[in-house]
Amino acid sequence: MREFATLAFVAAQLIASTAAFAADTVLTMNSYGPVQVGMPIAQAHRLLTKLGRKNLPNPRGVAKVGCDFYQASADLQFMTEDQKIVRIETREPDVVTPSGIRVGSSLDRVRRSFGSRIEEVQQHRSADAGDRSIVLVSGDKQFAIRVDGKQAVDELFVGAEPAIRRAEGCS
């Protein structure tokens, strides 16, 4: 009977943590919720609007040819190439990866989650040796988590490998 009570408690905890993730936007190597890398920015704008995003800027100003950016909000930006999404950048606190990494997660948690599959380097634009860029590669896509000098995730980047490697964005 005691084992059943313990099992029921653990199951309740798992359900509660799953419910917490249900309200979050899931960020994978090639998507931000329903918005996919490779998708036209106009289609992404429509999906974000359907999800309840208010006051989104119109994406008509995004360059039709070449690299550009679409700033959906202060904490969400899309890099485009020929008006198709090649990189998604977010600082939103309610965005989580399938492994539970989000803005504010510790560098140690990122290392434990991704293990030996990561490449870790000092951030390109920072003079602080503690500012890290952690890159996880899978096939032709790449997932990067930037960690600030306080050893916490500051920003999440996902997208096509070449776009993730561009530290400064469009070149």
Domains of the chain (ranges, CATH numbers): 24-165 (2.60.460)
Q: Is the torsion defined by CA of 126, 135, 39, 66 positive or negative?
A: positive
Please give the Cα distance from 57 to 86 (Å, whole number).
19
138: left (phi over 0), alpha (psi -120 to 50) or beta: beta
Query: What pLDDT does 9 receive?
Result: 38
Query: What pLDDT does 36 receive?
Result: 95
Cβ partners under 8 Å of residue 29, min gap 6: 136, 138, 141, 142, 143, 158, 159
What is residue 98's DSSP assignment? T
- List the pLDDT tens digit at each of the 171 positions of the chain: 545 444 443 344 444 344 444 569 999 988 999 999 999 999 999 999 998 888 999 999 999 999 999 999 999 999 999 999 999 999 999 999 999 999 999 988 988 988 888 888 777 777 887 787 888 887 555 556 666 556 889 889 898 888 887 777 776
Q: What backbone phi and psi angles, to 5 degrees, belong to 151?
A: 65, 35
Query: What pLDDT does 7 receive?
Result: 42
Please give the Cα distance from 162 to 154 (Å, whole number).
21
Task: Take residue 9 and report the two structure tokens written for it.
Answer: 């408690």
pLDDT per position as a tens digit, 55-91:
999 999 999 999 999 999 999 999 999 999 999 999 9
b/e sequence 120-136, b meaning 16+ C-beta within 10 Å: eeebeeeeeeebbbbbb
